[in-house]
Amino acid sequence: MMRSTLLKRRRRLSRKPKSEKPPQTPADDDPEFIKRQDQKRSDLDEQLKEYINEWRKQRAKEEDELKKLKEKQAKRKVSRAEEEQRMAQRKKEEEERRQREVEEKKQREIEEKRQRLEEAEKKRQAMLQAMKDKDKKGPNFTIAKKDSGVLGLSSAAMERNKTKEQLEEEKKISLSFRIKPLAIEGFNEGKLREKAQELWELIVKLETEKYDLEERQKRQDYDLKELKERQKQQLRHKALKKGLDPEALTGKYPPKIQVASKYERRVDTRSYDDKKKLFEGGYDTLYKEVVEKPKLPKWFGERPGKKAGDPETPEGEEDAKADEDVLEDEDEVEEEVVEEEEAEEGEEEEEEEEEEEEEEEEEEEEEEEEEEEEEEEEEE
């Protein structure tokens, strides 16, 4: 195999290539060829000159634009520095003014507090003096009327009873204090520009404060939500520790009192009232109702509680009636006891039947499991 491939390769190499004709080129001394070449060179030179001139124009234009941009940037930097300086100065003045206002407010509060204390002390001394004078003069039966505003109405009631026209008038007065007039009469163009700039700066300041307050409110809302969620988690853990439902303590009302164990085998279908009244009553209560009550003695031949106009009751009839009532009550008690015993026996029989059914079901399940295991062993 290798030998045949080597022979084929040797034959392929031994073959001579076919003779190809060389390409015909024009002679170097041909005048037409030389003329065409010169024309091409001149066209290329002119095109290059145009490109160079166009590039130089574009470059000069870009340099002019760049120079203008640099000058504009320098002016903007200077104006920004001046604006920052003015803002810093204004901020400093506002901070100083705010501090002065805070100090003045503190001084006013201290002065008002001192005046209130002095007035309270004067009133107390006057009251003590009046009490001493009253003790000397004797009792005073005059009642001082309490000042309750106009026509006996409080300030809140008077505010509610105001008419629409009165409210509008108060609103106008309040706005006149808050909205100050512009007072631009006699202003020239420069002063008007300054006033407009001042109003614009006031608007910017108010909008900035509004934005800051909104962001602060958002942050506080987020913090409140996070704290509420933490509180819910703590209440859930507390409920789980007490063995309650996780959402038992997170609601508006506390959970209901559990009157039955949660580990009972059967689910109790009775209502809450039935469970609550389950252990009320009983034989002791019935016995207390039917036990012989002590008879009250007669005073001067009359029974206690007798009303005017009632007929007199003979002594024998009272005793016979009491004995009959006692016998009837005893019969009723015996009947109720028998009914309760029968109901308990019926419940015990039902429970035994249910237990037997459950045992039969368990035995059937065990037999089925044994059969399945035997089938699996046979298959293996």
* CB-neighbour burial class of residue 246 (10 A; exposed 0-12, middle 13-18, buried 19+): middle
DSSP-assigned states of every residue in 43-78: HHHHHHHHHHHHHHHHHHHHHHHHHHHHHHHHHHHH
Q: How far is CA 290 from the centre of its chain?
A: 62
Q: Which residues touch 47 (CB under 8 Å, ≥6 apart)?
A: none
- pLDDT above 90 for 154: no
Taking a C-beta distance cutoff of 8 angstroms, is the pair 149, 155 a contact? yes
Tokens 């002390």 correspond to what residue? 121
- Asked if the model's pLDDT at residue 353 lies above 90, the reply is no
**Confidence band, pLDDT 50/70/90 cuts, at residue 150:** very low
Show Cβ contacts of residue 98 under 8 Å, excluding neighbours closer than 6 positions: none
Average confidence (pLDDT) over 260-287 = 76
DSSP 131: H
Q: Would you state the pLDDT for residue 302? A: 62
Bridge partner list, 302: 299
**Residue 299 β-bridge partners:** 302
Distance, CA of 132 to CA of 364 (rounded, Å): 101
Q: Which of 29-33, 158-162, 310-314, 336-340 has the lowest mean pLDDT?
A: 310-314
Task: Enter the pTM of the model.
Answer: 0.27
- Asked if pLDDT for residue 197 goes beyond 70, the answer is yes
CA 292 from chain centre, in angstroms, equals 66
| pLDDT tens digits for range 274-292 | 877 777 777 777 788 777 6
Question: Which stretch of 20-24, 161-165, 195-199, 309-313 has the lowest confidence by average pLDDT?
Answer: 20-24
Per 3-state DSSP, what percentage of the chain is helix, strand, and coil (rounded to 5)? 70, 0, 25
Q: Which residue's entry shows tokens 């206002």?
A: 101
How high is the pLDDT of residue 327? 54
pLDDT digits (tens, 9 = 90+) for 68-124: 999 999 999 999 999 999 999 999 999 999 999 999 998 888 788 777 777 777 786
Please provide the average confidence, as pLDDT, over all residues in the chain.
Answer: 76
Cross-strand partners of 125:
none
Q: What is the three-class DSSP state of 299?
A: strand
Residue 331 pLDDT level (bands cut at 50, 70, 90): low
For helices 315-379 and 283-290, give the axis angle rounded to 10 degrees. Answer: 170
How do residues 31-44 score in pLDDT, each as one tens digit? 888 888 888 888 88
> Is the predicted pLDDT of residue 213 greater than 80, yes or no?
yes
pLDDT (0 to 100) of residue 1: 52
Note the pLDDT of residue 314: 53
Tell me the C-alpha distance between 224 and 217, whole Å: 10
